[in-house]
Structure 1
Amino acid sequence: MRINKLFKLMAVSALTMTALTGCGNSSSNGDVKEVAIIQYVEHTSLNTIKDAFDEQMEALGYKEGENIKYTFKNAQGDMNTAPSIIQDFKSSKKDCVVAIATPVAQTAAEMSTDTPVVFAAVTDPIKAGLTTSLEKPDKNITGTSDEIQVEMILERALQVNPDLKKIGVIYNKGEVNSVTNIAKAKAFCDDKGIEMIETTVTGVNEVQSAIDVLTSKCDAVFAPNDNTVANAMDMVGPACAKAKVPLYVGADSMVQDGGFLSVGINYEDLGKETANMVDKILKGEKVENIPVKVFKENLSVYVNTKVLKQLGITLPNEIKNDKAYVEIKE
């Protein structure tokens, strides 16, 4: 009898310990990570990145309300708003901050002393002051770069029109990424003997008049992956098509929104890689061990076929027969 009672007590104790241990593991596994996301503005490129990021995070096992909590804010292109958003993020403990586009990445950098920051779609992270090394990030900030191949895009412009004499450029000089790309365009044009006509804008409301001036003076227009211009593609694309002036752009999404041609990456891939970096950080990896990912390989040549017809252009074989050629239909 006593032995049976002893065994029963031992069994109950064992079950109790197992239950308690199970509860402990459940609590540990149920640790909810907090990730704050700030996006500079609404346009196709950045929206594509955000959507791909969300999908990849879910594929990696993160479920909103279960093991992760997101705080998402959009600055709506207003850099006066971005600092207050970052201050809100700082007031509550975050495990990681994601900044989509250069302007908000620069603002989010002030959180990097206490919180890891992962940027997305920053053309030149070093010139933007986010790190001094792409291979070994040294400011608790890393991320993905959409450095565009300006020379490759403009080479395609020359293939389309070997007699190209004047090319107009439109961008917001307040965006570091755009300034970098326009400098590359200027160097290319100087080397090829092409006159570059430069027009800058500070907001979407200035774009229409600026593009009208360029299309009246130029044989082609180049717009880098500039957030202000990308947000106004519904004006820029039709204006160029109507004037029969090819619009060469810095992103596949800008081709989708009415640009004629681009050479570059797929922004879905960039969004997914940004999520992979956040995943590593949430699992304990140090930021300094996560190199900045620059997307400059396996590039595609994107052409909007609707715009192609509107322009009345016949694509040269160098482009049409390129294995990287991708047709985009609006």
Structure 2
Amino acid sequence: MKALSKLMAAIMASSLLFGCSSSGSTEIPTIGVAQLVSHTSLNTIRDAFTDQMEELGYEDGENINYDFADASGQTSNLNSIMSQYQDEDAAVVVAIATPTAQAAANISEDIPVVFSAVSDPVGAGLVDSLEEPGGNITGTSDEVQVDQILDLALQLVPDAKTVGFLYNASEANSVSNLASAKEYCDQNGLTLIEGTGSNLTELQSSASVLCEQVDVLFAPNDNTVASGMAALSQIALDAQTPFFVGADSMVNDGGLGTVGIDYEELGIETANMVDEILNGEKPSAMSVKVFKDDLNIYINQSALDSLGLTLPEDIQNNERLVIVE
């Protein structure tokens, strides 16, 4: 039955997506899939997106074409990528992460845009509201649960008094999370110290300084930080500073822990939204999907052991606990 359902989905997708030009040739829609940089979080979303599209009956080169683009961490490359999608007359643009989505918004009058992994779509100027986006753009949001992550930090390091916040100040999502972290620290009698960097070298320097000043280090789902997690997490470990992060993939890459979503779910829902648009739905009528429920606790066992920390019993017994070996 499952195989038959997939076959019928493929047939329906083909009939909906194949169109004939005046010369009688078949036109296959192009989906532009762009990301700011290659790192585990964004790659997980991209791969889950294409897997789900296949589940929905779309076969690359048969009834859909993908144009994947990576800006190599340079925001200046994003506008060129979007211009290319305009030239190709892409059917939909998938924009992974906030800077990519902001660049894609500039062409959304011409091409429907579905963003993914944008922490604060309203604050980033992408939509009027989560419920009613208002323009030719919608998508999925990985709203970072800063309060719950810092709660986790205090559970593991109950004597902590200072929190280091490591981020790239040019990333709107990180600036939004900084405001949340400041509010949490003010409410809980903690001192927050910022450390910034626009590239890995600068972030490594900031991380080294912070680790001498703070009890715990925290980085949100910052793309520049995520790209350099191997080096940054080692700096924290060498300084014996617990490093809490904003995404499960950043735990996989060396961070101590987080509370959040499975990033594969973002990719799956992004594909579902693209499918709806290809079948006639308007982005302006599609609410932004915010992932903030059914969250997991992710702990890196190796980092935990290296720091000599022990999980409290209530965390050990939590059914949402995911241990990364």
The alpha carbon displacement at 1:250 in A equals: 0.1
C-alpha contact 1:159 1:318 (8 A) present in aligned 2: no
Paired residues of 2:277 and 2:283 also in contact (CA < 8 A): yes
Judge conservation of contact 1:156–1:319 (CA < 8 Å) in 2. Answer: no
CA drift at 1:94: 1.1
Correspondence 1:133 to 2:135: no
1:99 matched to 2:95? The reply is yes
The CA distance in 2 between the partners of 1:35 and 1:220, in whole Å, is 42
Q: Which residue of 1 aligns with 2:42?
A: 46
- Of the two, which has the highest radius of gyration? 1
Counterpart-to-counterpart distance in 1, 2:221 and 2:19: 43
In structure 2, the residue matched to 1:166 is: 162
Change (3 A) 1:94 1:121: same
Partner of 1:19: none
CA RMSD in angstroms comes to: 1.5
- Aligned-partner Cα distance in 1 for 2:290–2:158: 31
CA drift at 1:318: 2.6
CA deviation map 1:32-83 (0-9, x unaligned): 2211111110100000000000100111110111100111110011011111
Question: Unpaired segments of 5 or more residues in structure 1?
Answer: 1-23
- Equivalent residues of 2:17, 2:278 under 8 A apart: no
Number of aligned residues: 306
Alpha-carbon deviations, 1:298-330, whole Å to 9, x = none? Answer: 00000000111101001112322222111011x
Provide TM-score, normalisation by structure 1: 0.90
Task: Give deviations 1:221-276, integer Å, cap 9, x for gaps.
Answer: 00000000000101111111121111000000000000000000000011010000
3-state SS of 1:151 partner: helix
Amino acid of the structure 1 residue aligned with 2:112:
P
Q: Distance in 2 between matches of 1:108 and 1:322?
A: 40
Alpha-carbon separation, structure 2, partners of 1:293 and 1:26: 25
Q: 2 CA distance for matches of 1:114 and 1:83?
A: 14
1:33 maps onto 2:29 in alignment: yes
Alignment pair present for 1:205 and 2:201: yes
Out of 229, 235, 254, the residue aligned to residue 258 of structure 1 is 254
| Residue identity matched to 1:117 | V
- Which amino acid in the other structure matches residue 310 of structure 2? T
1:279 Cα shift? 0.5
Q: What amino acid sits opposite 1:322 in the alignment?
A: N
TM-fit CA distance, 1:289: 2.2
Superposed CA deviations along residues 271-292 of structure 1, whole A, max 9, x for unmatched, are 0100000000001111122110
Using the size of structure 2 for normalisation, the TM-score is 0.91
The match for 1:55 is 51
**Structure 1 segment 168-207 matched on structure 2, within 5 A:** 168-207=164-203
Distance 2:97 2:17 in 1: 37
**Could you tell me the percent identity over the aligned residues?**
51
Secondary structure at 1:119 match in 2 = strand
Q: What SS does the aligned partner of 2:76 have?
A: coil
- Could you say if the C-alpha distance between residues 27 and 229 of structure 1 is closer, same or farther in structure 2, counting changes exceeding 3 Å? closer
Deviation at 1:92, TM superposition (A): 2.0
Distance of aligned partners of 1:283 and 1:318 in 2 relative to their CA distance in 1, 3 Å threshold: same
Structure 2: distance between partners of 1:322 and 1:195: 29
In the superposition, relative to structure 1, how do residues 115 and 25 fare at CA in structure 2: closer, same or farther (>3 Å)? closer
Instruction: Select the residue among 307, 310, 316 that pairs with 2:306.
Output: 310
SS in 1 for 2:241: coil
Which residue of 206, 211, 214 maps to 1:215?
211
User: Counterpart of 1:127 in structure 2: which amino acid?
Assistant: G
The unaligned stretches of length 5 or more in structure 2 are: 1-14, 21-25
Query: Would you say the 8 A contact 2:116–2:139 is kept in 1?
Result: yes
Residues 133-152 of structure 1: matches in 2 within 5 Å? 133-152=129-148
